[in-house]
Structure 1
């Protein structure tokens, strides 16, 4: 039901905002503001959609300003969300929330619990000034819109974020890294997936490194350090770095193999039809795919970093921080105490530790992982 009418709701509320002038300066009330829209669906697609549903958009001017800071065009944003029905996807981290991806893979919609909406409101007051100060240069999630959808008295909360993996390149390996070692291996259930998400111990066992060179590492660590210190200041912990890897050599081999298969298909078709290869044939398309392997489109793959020229692996890396809303409160303090008793001398490797310790350990791990 969520995906069936989300596009219509997004279109309605974005169209409404399109006629509102964005204030030159945001005021404190903008962080408390909301807009409400009621959609009466008497005629259009009534068989599949409910007759009435409502949407409440939180802090519309703040999120519109954030979209501008992140260089997102309003028309493109609207089209991405409304072009067709979003598809549900697996969570990239530990979250039990439901995730939906737009048809062009540009944006992720994540469901929230009501208390997480309160956390988002609290975060937003610090998050927006930080994004402004950093001129949009951050690996924190890019929060772009937040709303509550009510259908048949059932409320669903949702936040829209930019998709880290909005890429035309194939992802060959994926890691969720926290810098901790206790219980940080991919489960057997996870390993059964086509593209499992591996964890810290898998990363170290594989001998994986992020080969981007000194200059790129310095810039990346500067951004990561600023982001982590921001999270530490807000008493947040248990976040992860999502690392996805495109293997350029493997992609080229796959491209050659695909081209050979398409050549055979094309030859068979020519024998049957006696016609030359047209410009849009599978063979031509295969060549285009092979030519594009390893090519980065900076307008889409904003998270992508290429390995340095003489690196032992020819790779393209996609990196961003995820699951950043966990506050170190009473529950996490109790969890830390329980795990400390359980793991004893290995307790330094547990993920549930104070935000300062978590952040410093996380940065130390990343500093060793990136070369």
Structure 2
């Protein structure tokens, strides 16, 4: 009898110890990035793959969202927080938009999931954070709750506009919108868009143009950067022009007029035309053969070192030649297509001072002309005078001035 009690006592004292997971599933420098990668993967594999694309989107699809809460205990804690939420806004709508913008679902997921997005410079005053996918196809931007509300407000109109114009638009190609909450306290909203600049072409000059001249020049801090984002007054003072063919200008102006009219109809203003310029004959586009041989030797040595460390993660440099981690214990080199500049590109005409490729798209389209902007307009008008070209004006007036400026700075052959 005593022996039976002894065995029973030992069984009661037995404890099960939690085993720490050692496999690094979603490598990231911080929880936010890990959750974005995990969430996009979860949405694509566990949710959207199980739902057939509807024949037509219904009104409820523009209000829908998917949401998951994860509560882990001692599981993968080296890479992911123990408690987090991931929310995807209007999954079916954004999947349809990705299809309209010719974005393959598997490629979209692989671009955001297989390798950690990395930070890029943010020139704006909003404090938004910008990240880029490892293959440079997509931009991830943190946005405010007001931006989320505005995007949801215009989403149905935005989708209809894209459909009616067969995706021929210079509006941002918005592909997804997510909300991440870490440990119930740290909340982020992230929007995913197509990268305006092609992965295979270095950008040598960059401008943010609104058609306004009041306080529209880059700061000294911005100018000190390797690739500053210059503004309207910088563009004009440099006597810069956009040199493209007559047919290209007519097509671009037609698209931008439709886009700006659409934004004005939604009471939106304060957007910009982002212009990136790739100089075809720029020295940085050419690699010396001796330097290339040395680079190849360095790459081979890195491959040997990386093969011994499967947990290593390398961030991509700014050049088109990108090194990143693959699915095994090896490292491969990503070579972007340098023959396809992408939808946002237009080649210069024969009268251009030098051969260049222009990348142009509208950005920052979610500013509504509400009480805040009306107050700002009154204050700026009192400070600079009624005739000053301030950026804060009514949407229809903003669109008209914006198009006049763009038409003026484009020179045809």
One fold, TM greater than 0.5? yes
Q: What TM-score do the two structures reach when normalised by structure 1?
A: 0.87
Q: What TM-score do the two structures reach when normalised by structure 2?
A: 0.78
Contact 2:175 2:194 in 1 (8 A): yes
Question: Which of 385, 401, 406 is residue 366 of structure 1 equivalent to?
Answer: 406
Matched, 1:328 2:357: no
Matched, 1:114 2:154: no
1:42 offset after TM fit, Å?
4.8
Structure 2: how far apart are the matches of 1:133 and 1:188? 43
User: Deviations along 1:300-355, whole A, 9 cap, x unmatched?
Assistant: x22111112343221000000001011111111111111111112552x1101111
Residues 40/338 of structure 1: CA separation in 2 closer, same or farther (3 Å cut): same
| Stretches of structure 2 lacking an aligned partner (at least 5 in a row) | 1-30, 299-320, 322-334
1:158 offset after TM fit, Å?
1.3
User: Deviations along 1:209-242, whole A, 9 cap, x unmatched?
Assistant: 1111110000000100000000011111100000
User: Deviations along 1:102-147, whole A, 9 cap, x unmatched?
Assistant: 1111111111222221111001021000000010111111111112
Residues 255/87 of structure 1: CA separation in 2 closer, same or farther (3 Å cut): closer
Residue 171 (structure 1) aligns with: 203
Contact 1:176 1:199 in 2 (8 A): yes
Structure 1 segment 143-292 matched on structure 2, within 5 A: 143-153=174-184, 154-250=186-282, 253-255=283-285, 258-259=287-288, 262=291
Residue 58 (structure 2) aligns with: 27
Residue 314 (structure 1) aligns with: 355
User: Is the partner of 1:351 in helix, strand or coil?
Assistant: coil
Residue 272 (structure 1) aligns with: none
Residue 12 (structure 1) aligns with: 42
Structure 1 segment 131-142 matched on structure 2, within 5 A: 131-142=162-173
User: Deviations along 1:7-39, whole A, 9 cap, x unmatched?
Assistant: 111111121212211101001010111111233
User: Is the partner of 1:337 in helix, strand or coil?
Assistant: helix
Matched, 1:124 2:145: no
